[in-house]
Structure 1
Amino acid sequence: MPLYLEIIICVSLLIGGAFLLIGSYGLVRLPDIYMRLHSPTKASTLGITGVLVASMIFQSHLKGFFSIQELLITLFLLITAPVAANMIAKTALHQRTKSLKDTKGQDLMETIRDREAPTKPPQNP
């Protein structure tokens, strides 16, 4: 394997590992659920992307053609992580999970919790 590919793979793994470490630390360190959602959805997604890019480069060199499996996994993670975080935040809001006083948007939380479900418009016969 050429030296430049090894360097690119190592740098990508180091960057991905650093983001994963930061995301894990944030998940443990941040105090409430609303703040904790940022850590796994942002830092950990970037970390997994770095690791998968390194794997894609390595597998592409071994096979001799472009490896698409890692690209599909990365795309799936980039799409599903924000959606999952949004669903967790909505569940926490509707379950009235307490937030800290330092959490921004306290006034918006009550507005979102108490809003009515949209009604269907009347059907024309």
Structure 2
Amino acid sequence: MTHLDTLPLWAAIPAAAFLVLGSSLALIGSFGLLRLRTFYERIHAPTLGSSWGTAGIVLASIIVFSVTQSRPVLHELLIAGFVTVTTPVTLMLLGRAALYRDR
């Protein structure tokens, strides 16, 4: 028997919704990477998809582990913070490198 067997329905439904939403946004960002043609278009879609997708998955994780461990579990917010900080910085550095290369 695992802790997920004891997860109440009122917590399982929003956690599943956030998980599906986050993974869908990450998948849409990946499709944008494949579908868009130029480099400058390609760096935009995965950045948004990974940021918003990570946020949805982190919210699902917070709900599940806070309910199963009977205490607030907030260290997943560190993951969201690191992704929120590093993704735009990476986008900016890649964009500047491509702009420098194109000149």
- Counting helix residues as a fraction of each chain, which structure ranks higher? 2
Shift of 1:64: 1.4
Q: Match for residue 46 of structure 1?
A: 52
CA distance in 1: counterparts of 2:49 and 2:64, whole angstroms: 23
TM-score (normalised: structure 1): 0.73
Shift of 1:49: 1.2
Shift of 1:21: 1.1
Structure number with the bigger relative contact order (C-alpha 8 A, sep ≥ 6) is 2
Structure 1 stretches (4+) deviating beyond 3 angstroms? none
CA RMSD of aligned residues (A): 1.1
Shift of 1:84: 0.7
Shift of 1:39: 0.9
CA distance in 2: counterparts of 1:90 and 1:12, whole angstroms: 34
Residues 70-110 of structure 1 deviation map (CA, whole Å, 9 limit, x = unaligned): 111001101110111000000000011xxxxxxxxxxxxxx
Q: Match for residue 76 of structure 1?
A: 82
Confirm whether residue 27 of structure 1 aligns to residue 57 of structure 2: no
Q: Mind listing any 5+ residue stretches in structure 2 that lack a counterpart?
A: 1-6
Confirm whether residue 17 of structure 1 aligns to residue 13 of structure 2: no
Percent identity over the alignment is 37
Point out the structure with max Rg over C-alpha: 1
Q: Match for residue 99 of structure 2?
A: 93
Q: Match for residue 3 of structure 2?
A: none
